[in-house]
Structures are given as structure tokens and as C-alpha cells.
Amino acid sequence: MNAAQKIRLVVLISGRGSNLQAILDQAASGELPVEVAAVISNRPGVRGLERARQASVPALELDHKHFADRSAFETALIEMIDRHQPDLVALAGFMRVLTAGFTEHYRGRLLNIHPSLLPKFRGLHTHERAIAAGETEHGASIHFVTAELDGGPIIVRARVPLLPGDDPDALAARVLEQEHRLYPLAIRWFAEGRMRLDGERVCFDGEPLAEPLRLEEAPLSR
């Protein structure tokens, strides 16, 4: 891929940025046709910002605690993001609930990764909840973001089994390994024009998806 074929990506984080690192690594290798234009954190000093700096990507802080309310924070966040003219915005462990005004501004170009097989276990503490519910499988999902928390159209999911004796940490580590495969793949599909949002439906290779793709069966090439 040459630079002219790359899309501009802004990544929003709140913490260590392990999914960000997977994106940065594939962007650097040329496997992922994106230019990471900026990384923005709502929490100052987190590890993910250092990952961005190490990759020579602008690492920006916008502390939500410095704003009077959610609306003021989101207005400033939109201004900061749009300065970098992104084609796509990726939430990678961004721990802020976003309002309809924000999600509509980026409708069709705002992705999130969530550590469950959506629509199961929206919100927090997904690994603990999956174990407590006696699930036999768990995983991660990529979806387009809407104002409904973890409720936007689902693109692709990766599954892992729940094993006897699993605790939340062991399960989380196994899911995270799949997340690092899942997110760059979904971003690549978007960058290549293979995947888009059409109304409330995800279209892949020009056809609406009847159900989310599965990572183990995902079409990796044209």
C-alpha cells in the first residue's frame, strides 16, 4: 500500500492501549492500510500515550475531569479529533459513555471493540458476568457505535471457550489475544472499502450481513 491509499485513523483510549499497539504494529508493517493520525486519551499519563509516542504518533490528552459536563467535554473532543481529519475513529478501551450528538457526528465511521459476544454482556465486568452466568463460550465483538451503549450494529466476533477453573483474569487474557487479531482486521476491511454501515445494517462486500461475521470464518482476502 502506498500512502495515497491509506485512510486516516484517530484512536481514542483511556488506559494501557494494548489494542492500540496491535493497530500501530500492523500499520507500521504495512499490513494495515492506515495512517494513525492521532491517539487521544481522556486520562492523562496512561501507558497508551507512550505507545503512541514510541510510534511517532501525536499523543494527546483531553482530561474529561476538566470540563463542567459531558456536553462540554464532547464538544472539545470533536474539535480535537476533527483537527486530524480522520476517515475513521476507533475506540480502543475508551471508558466514556458517548452521547447521541457525538455518535451521530461520526456515524458510519466510529468503531468500538467490546469484550463479550454482543449482544450479551453489554457494559462493564463482562468476564465476571460470563463466568457467573455459566456460559460455555465468551469472546469479543467489533461494532459500529451508536448512542445505545454497546448496542450498535455488530460487524465481527471472535469466540473463546470458557474452561473449567477459569477466573476473570485467565478468561480476559484469552479474550484479549483474540481482540488483537479482531480489531486490525475490521479496520482493514473498512479501509479497503469492503465494510460499511448502510442505515442500521452492516454491509460487507456490497451485501448486508444477515448476522455478524465470525473471526474463524472471516473472509480475509478478496
User: What are the E-state strand segments in 45-194?
Assistant: 59-61, 88-91, 110-114, 137-144, 154-161
Q: What residues act catalytically?
A: 114
∠ CA 63-69-71, nearest 5°, is 95
∠ CA 117-120-125, nearest 5°, is 90
Give the three-state DSSP class for 146.
coil
Question: Is residue 171 within 8 Å of 137, Cβ to Cβ?
Answer: no
Neighbours of 66 (CB within 10 A): 12
Question: Is residue 158 within 8 Å of 140, Cβ to Cβ?
Answer: yes
∠ CA 2-7-13, nearest 5°, is 125
Identify the DSSP state of 163: P
**What is d(CA 65, CA 16) in angstroms, rounded to the nearest whole number?**
19
**What is d(CA 214, CA 222) in angstroms, rounded to the nearest whole number?**
16
Give the three-state DSSP class for 122.
coil
For the chain, the farthest-separated pair of C-alpha atoms sits apart, in whole angstroms, at 50
